[in-house]
Structure formats: structure tokens, C-alpha cells
Amino acid sequence: MKTQFECLIRHDPNDKYGWYNLGVIAQNAKDTRAATQDFERAITIDPHFEAALYNLGVVRLNVKDIDGAVTYLSRAVAGDPRDANAHWQLGLALARTDTHANSGLAVKQLNAALKLDPSLVNTALNLHTVKGTR
């Protein structure tokens, strides 16, 4: 599958879906460097590409780049305010910061996520869980 997406972007280097799918493949392979580059390329092509913003935010959260995670996940939430997973991951990222103000924002994001998708309460039992790609 990876070869097919590499072929696709060779023929059309501005295909955001090709870059996004390569990012997902790299993310699933735990290759954070490649995932980051591929998602960033997709976002360069389409700065409002919510799925790429979300997944890049999750990658940044997994490598403990909390500021980067907050940046990309905030953009994902702004792009799709009904995305419960984006709210959830943003809440987790904000909870990992050291500021009291961000603690309140974290609770707000987690509550928004639960309101949109009550099944996330199962994930709430383990706040250290970071969901993978979509």
C-alpha cells in the first residue's frame, strides 16, 4: 500500500491524501519522523485538512511535544468542532501542561468530547491512553 501512495505523490506531489496516507502508514509503524513530515506536507497543501492536523497532534502528543500537540489539535478542533476525538486529545494535551489555566481548558475539552461521544467515558478510565490514527 505504501508503494501505491509513493507512486501517487510522484505523479501529483500536491495530493494531500497521498501524503496523509503515507503519514498514517508511518504513524502506525511508529516512525514519528516520517509521519510528522508526511502530515506536515499534507497540511502545507491544505492548511485546514482536519484529519492531518488531528493525526499530527497525536504524533506530537506521543513524543511529548505538548506545545506542538496543543497547536495542531486546537486547529483540528477549530476545523471540526464536532470531532469528539480531537476535543479528547486536545484535553489530554492541555492536561499535561503545567499551567492552572490550561487545566481548566483541559476539563472543558474533555467534557466537550464526552458530550459529543459518551462512549469516550471508557477511555476516561485510563487518561494515559492516546488513541491512534483514524
- Residue 66 covered by a domain: yes
Q: What is the pLDDT of residues 107-123, one digit of tens each?
A: 999 999 999 999 988 77
- Residue 8 covered by a domain: yes
Domain that holds residue 7: 2-124
- Residue 54 covered by a domain: yes
Higher-confidence residue of 85 and 131: namely: 85
- Residue 132 covered by a domain: no
- Residue 20 covered by a domain: yes
- Residue 130 covered by a domain: no
Residue 101 has pLDDT above 90, yes or no: no
15 contacts: CB under 8 Å, gap ≥ 6: 8, 9, 45
Greatest alpha-carbon span in the chain: 49
Q: Which backbone phi and psi does 47 adopt, to 5 degrees? A: -60, -10
Instruction: Domain count for the chain, please give it.
Output: 1
Contact 102, 66 (CB under 8 A): no
Q: Is the pTM of this model over 0.75?
A: yes
- Residue 129 covered by a domain: no
Mean pLDDT of the chain: 91
- Residue 7 covered by a domain: yes
pLDDT given at position 5: 93
- Calpha distance 25→38 (Å, rounded): 10
CATH number, domain containing residue 105: 1.25.40.10
pLDDT given at position 23: 98
